[in-house]
Amino acid sequence: MLTAKTLSARDPALAARLGWIIATPLLLLAAMYYTGFDPRLLLDADTLATLAHFAGEFFPPSHDPVFLASLWHETLTTLAVASSGTLLAMLVGLPAALLTSRALDRDVLTGEAPSRLWHWLQNSLRALMVILRGVPDLVWALLLVRAAGLGSLPAVLALGLAYGGMLGKVYAEILEAQPRAPAAALAGSGASRLAIFGYALLPQAAHELISYSVYRWECAIRASAVMGFVGAGGLGLLMDTSIRMLNGGEVGALLLVFMALVALTELISRLARHAVESRRGGLVLAAACILLQLAAFGWLGPQWQDSPFDVGGLLRFAGELLHPNLAPAFLLKVGGGMLETLAQSALGTAFAFLGGALLALPASQRGPRWLRYPVQLLLNILRGTPDLLWGAIAVLALSLGPAAGVLALALHTSGVLGRLFAHTLENLPPEPEAALRVSGASPVARLAYGLLPQALPQWIAYTLYRWENNIRIAAILGLVGAGGLGQQLYLALSLFQLGNAATLIAAMLLLSWGVEGISRWLRQRLE
Amino acid sequence: MSLALSEATLSLRGQRILDGITLRLAQGEQAALIGPSGAGKSSLLLLVATQYRAASGSVQLLGAEPWQLDSAALRRLRSRIGSVYQHAPLPALQRVVTAVGAGRLGQLSTLAALRRLLWPQDVAGIRAALEQVQLGDKLWQRCDRLSGGQRQRVGIARALYQQPDLLLADEPVSALDPRLADDTIALLCRQAATRNSTLLVSLHSVELALAHFPRLIGLRDGQVMFDLPRSEVTPALLAALYAGDTPPEPDDTPAAKLPRVAPC
């Protein structure tokens, strides 16, 4: 079609491009000003000396028998909490998905008149799921610890609620992505919702449902490893103590265990997702899951015997949370906290994008071998160390405040993104770059014209997803003194100001939804 | 001599792909490469494009031995050799203007190349190249919004924009309808003749080869079976060349998908 626009000699995308090129650094500069994060601080001799001194104390890792015994105990608790929490999340998520998935709606499948009441109920359930997953798991744990006492029980419940909301949405979406014909045929012959699921959708979607659940378990291990920071048991408990005591040797030992856990769960997760492919593998996987759940319950059950958990107390607590503090002066303060959290998450993620991009090239298969393995090791250390722990370390280096939160997010996320970016690079079709090579393009030009145009959209999509994650983490980094909403929430809960806590949690929800919306909008522009 | 292969062999992953190829094309000469699928047509073109290096024998391109050159001289040589691929190697989300402009990267400094990425240069020249393949209106489009045939023609426009002294094309019209295919081959021949560039094109269609090229090279099992002027290519010769050939399944490489799952 010959329109004025397509025939113009001027680049029609130029204005938008210039806009992005000018607006992005300006926004980041504003965020840097607001959070007080100065990248030059990282090269400051004092900061580096503090960090080097602290890191130097990691060696040798503590091998005190008493410490090692509790390390073993808490490692098992962490694994058990993650497994039971994932099971609980599936018990929440699967029914929710079956009730809300449009793939099972009769009116969608057969064209019958929709039922108003049913859709109203579905939407209410969806809204509940949104709240369940919108509140960070650590905040759930923080609340449940207040209501149900210290220990691993609140951690399991927190994972069940937060991940239940997530699984409910993702399961429903997986069902909606399946071919519709078999379900429509069954619906036409009058089958019930459950029958349609069992006979038409489950056979198609089983692999995807299982592999996503396994992947969620992998995430749950990382989450349960830091639950102890709010008193909910597991390795985080030891980590919190060791950092407060500035016991470098213990922190070193804990870090080694964290990395080993992350590596182990990734291996198991990969094996499990592979096992689903064959019938025998599926049976082995099912047996392993049942054994794991029994073992987890056997390990955690005795711990829960003397838990002060009582449903009445929980309900009273929840009731008090329904009265948020809406005083203007307090709302203004919360608004400031929201802005700070938003700036922290955006800035940390942006620096992580740069860090990840810089590390991805040498970490991928195109890097020379002598450089590749050290860089991969660095990436594993960066992402193997939980964000909350980076927060605690950054607070030591930069002192209390939002700048430490930015640094923590940037470091942890650089590791996560660097690995994903390298993976992306390795899986790109090589033809565009090869064609440029044989037409004489220089290495940098090949990168800019052949490789990055393919990699960049995927990198940006990953970064945006990660930003959605980081806004939640930024909201809780305050728990270790790294600024943002978390600091206010921790204070409110410590002083039993539940009205304030309720407002702060609502603010976290709003932020999380806002960032999800922006991220979705930006990702659609990439397509 | 624009292109001179002498007893060139090529092995990939331990398999002999090309075996003792001897072939000479004078500057400005035009020839078609025909043969059954799997005969080694694409590999021969990639060998000449310096994508592959011959295991033995010699390869001379535009008067130079590519693998004896230092990297700067090799780049200069490569910038004079243009390639059209069956599946145009265009990044899905790159715009046509950038993809075609990339044809001249070998002639630009790295800095100039990066500047063009932000601010397209020589838009008129790029548009002119696109208009030759009737895609002038697609200048600002993204490559993944084009049909397979349009992508193939953008690939041709890129090679034309490069203005090479040696132009290689591997099944350049496989995704085009017969009339457009005919026009496009005619365009390649005409452009090569105007610039006195050497042209070597592999074609699946013998009719197109006979209609447009004075010289046909038949390749079978990695060897040159015949290398004759058009008038001496007999039906019996063609039948022997294609004996037992099964046409390949058409394949289309899907565009890269954006990730759908948030990493934890």
User: What mean pLDDT do residues A216-234 have?
Assistant: 89
Residues 6+ apart with CB under 8 A from B54: B5, B8, B9, B10, B18, B47
Question: From the list B102, B256, B259, which residue is nearest A428 (CB)?
Answer: B256
Instruction: Name the helix (H) or strand (E) containing A185.
Output: helix A181-188
From B229's Cα to the closest Cα of chain A, the distance in A is 30
Fold of B1-80+166-246: Rossmann fold (3.40.50)
- Domains with residue ranges and CATH for chain A: 60-320 (1.10.3720.10), 323-527 (1.10.3720.10)
Q: Which residue in chain A has the smallest CA separation from B92?
A: A454
- Of A19-28, A310-319, A496-505, B68-77, least confident by mean pLDDT is A310-319
Give the span between the Cα atoms of A139 and A471, in whole angstroms: 13
Residues 6+ apart with CB under 8 A from A421: A356, A357, A359, A360, A364, A455, A459, A462
Determine contact, residues A195/A173, Cβ cutoff 8 Å: no
Give the span between the Cα atoms of B45 and B61, in whole angstroms: 12
By the 10 Å C-beta count (0-12 exposed, 13-18 middle, 19+ buried), A80 is classed as buried
Residues of A in contact with B264 (CB under 8 A): 215-216, 218-219, 222, 469
Question: Domain residue spans in chain B?
Answer: 1-80+166-246, 88-163
By the 10 Å C-beta count (0-12 exposed, 13-18 middle, 19+ buried), A479 is classed as buried
User: What mean pLDDT do residues B177-197 have?
Assistant: 94
Sheet-wide strand order for B198-202: B81-84, B166-170, B198-202, B30-34, B215-220, B223-229
Summary mean pLDDT of chain A: 89
Give the span between the Cα atoms of B227 and A219, in whole angstroms: 63
CA distances from A442 to A265, A437, A446, A448, A525 (A): 42, 7, 6, 10, 30
Count CA atoms within 13 Å of residue B215 on its CB side. Answer: 15
Other C-beta atoms lying within 10 Å of the C-beta of residue A54: 16
According to DSSP, the residues that pair with B56 across neighbouring strands are B9
Q: Would an 8 Å CB–CB cutoff place B113 in contact with chain A?
A: yes
CB contact under 8 A, B105 and A445: yes
* Tokens 């069954």 -> residue: A186
pLDDT in tens, B144-164: 899 999 999 999 999 999 999
Q: Would an 8 Å CB–CB cutoff place B25 in contact with chain A?
A: no
The pLDDT value recorded for residue A9 is 66
Instruction: Say whether the peptide bond before residue A60 is cis (omega within 30 degrees of 0).
Output: yes
User: What mean pLDDT do residues B212-225 have?
Assistant: 95
Residues of B in contact with A438 (CB under 8 A): 49-51, 78, 81, 83
Give the span between the Cα atoms of A362 and A418, in whole angstroms: 10
Q: Which of A224, A202, A57, A98 is nearest to A154 (CA)?
A: A224
Question: From the list B50, B98, B139, which residue is nearest A438 (CB)?
Answer: B50
Residues of A in contact with B103 (CB under 8 A): 439
Interfacial A residues in 498-517 facing B (CB < 8 Å): none
Q: Would an 8 Å CB–CB cutoff place A137 in contact with chain B?
A: no
The pLDDT value recorded for residue A304 is 83
Give the span between the Cα atoms of B29 and B9, in whole angstroms: 23
Instruction: Name the helix (H) or strand (E) containing A57.
Output: none
Give the span between the Cα atoms of A165 and A175, in whole angstroms: 16
3-state secondary structure chain B: CCEEEEEEEEEECCEEEEEEEEEEECCCCEEEEECCCCCCHHHHHHHHCCCCCCCEEEEEECCECHHHCCHHHHHHHHHCEEEECCCCCCCCCCEHHHHHHHHHHHHCCHHHHHHHHHCCCCHHHHHHHHHHCCCHHHCCCEHHHCCHHHHHHHHHHHHHHHCCCEEEEECCCCCCCHHHHHHHHHHHHHHHHHHCCEEEEECCCHHHHHHHCCEEEEEECCEEEEEEEHHHCCHHHHHHHCCCCCCCCCCCCCCCCCCCCCCC
Question: From the list A212, A438, A440, which residue is nearest B51 (CB)?
Answer: A438
CA distances from A369 to A60, A364, A384, A446, B250 (A): 29, 10, 22, 21, 38
Give the span between the Cα atoms of B3 and B21, in whole angstroms: 12
Q: Which of A170, A205, A202 is nearest to A93 (CA)?
A: A170
Q: What are φ and ψ of residue B30, in 5° steps?
A: -130, 130
pLDDT in tens, B111-141: 999 998 888 889 999 999 999 999 999 999 9
Give the span between the Cα atoms of A131 and A166, in whole angstroms: 10
CB contact under 8 A, B113 and A442: yes
Pairing relation of β-strands B30-34 and B215-220? parallel
pLDDT in tens, A153-185: 999 999 999 999 999 999 998 999 888 888 988
The pLDDT value recorded for residue A2 is 45
User: What mean pLDDT do residues A185-214 have?
Assistant: 89
The pLDDT value recorded for residue A484 is 84
Q: What are φ and ψ of residue A143, in 5° steps?
A: -65, -45
pLDDT in tens, B77-121: 999 999 999 999 999 889 999 999 999 999 999 999 999 888 888
Q: First and final CA of chain A: distance in angstroms?
A: 22
According to DSSP, the residues that pair with B8 across neighbouring strands are B21
CB contact under 8 A, A439 and B262: no
CB contact under 8 A, A218 and B264: yes
Q: Would an 8 Å CB–CB cutoff place A450 in contact with chain B?
A: yes
Q: Which of A81, A473, A479, A506 is nearest to A296 (CA)?
A: A81
Residue A438 CA to chain centroid, in angstroms?
A: 42
Question: From the list B113, B136, B263, which residue is nearest A445 (CB)?
Answer: B113
Other C-beta atoms lying within 10 Å of the C-beta of residue A321: 17
CB contact under 8 A, B77 and A440: yes
Residues of A in contact with B74 (CB under 8 A): 440
The pLDDT value recorded for residue A6 is 47
- Of A17-21, A310-314, A415-419, B225-229, least confident by mean pLDDT is A310-314
Q: Would an 8 Å CB–CB cutoff place A462 in contact with chain B?
A: yes
Residues of A in contact with B157 (CB under 8 A): none
CB contact under 8 A, A458 and B139: no
Determine contact, residues A379/A418, Cβ cutoff 8 Å: yes
By the 10 Å C-beta count (0-12 exposed, 13-18 middle, 19+ buried), A6 is classed as middle
pLDDT at residue A1 above 60?
A: no
User: What DSSP letter does each residue of A390-417 carry, written as one string?
Assistant: HHHHHHHHH-SSHHHHHHHHHHHHHHHH
The pLDDT value recorded for residue B263 is 67
From B230's Cα to the closest Cα of chain A, the distance in A is 30
Q: Would an 8 Å CB–CB cutoff place A7 in contact with chain B?
A: yes
At A127 the three-state DSSP class reads: helix
Q: Which of A376, A350, A382 is nearest to A474 (CA)?
A: A350
Give the span between the Cα atoms of B77 and B140, in whole angstroms: 30
Top residue of A18, A265, A438, A471 to mutate, by most chain B CBs within 10 Å, is A438
Give the span between the Cα atoms of A387 and A383, in whole angstroms: 8
Determine contact, residues B81/B59, Cβ cutoff 8 Å: no
Give the span between the Cα atoms of A476 and A489, in whole angstroms: 8
DSSP label at A477?
G
- Note the residue count of chain A: 527
Question: From the list B109, B162, B264, which residue is nearest A222 (CB)?
Answer: B264
pLDDT at residue A5 above 70?
A: no
Q: Would an 8 Å CB–CB cutoff place B125 in contact with chain A?
A: no
Quick one: tokens of A99? 């009730």
Interfacial A residues in 99-118 facing B (CB < 8 Å): none
pLDDT at residue B262 above 70?
A: no
Q: What is the ipTM of this complex?
A: 0.90
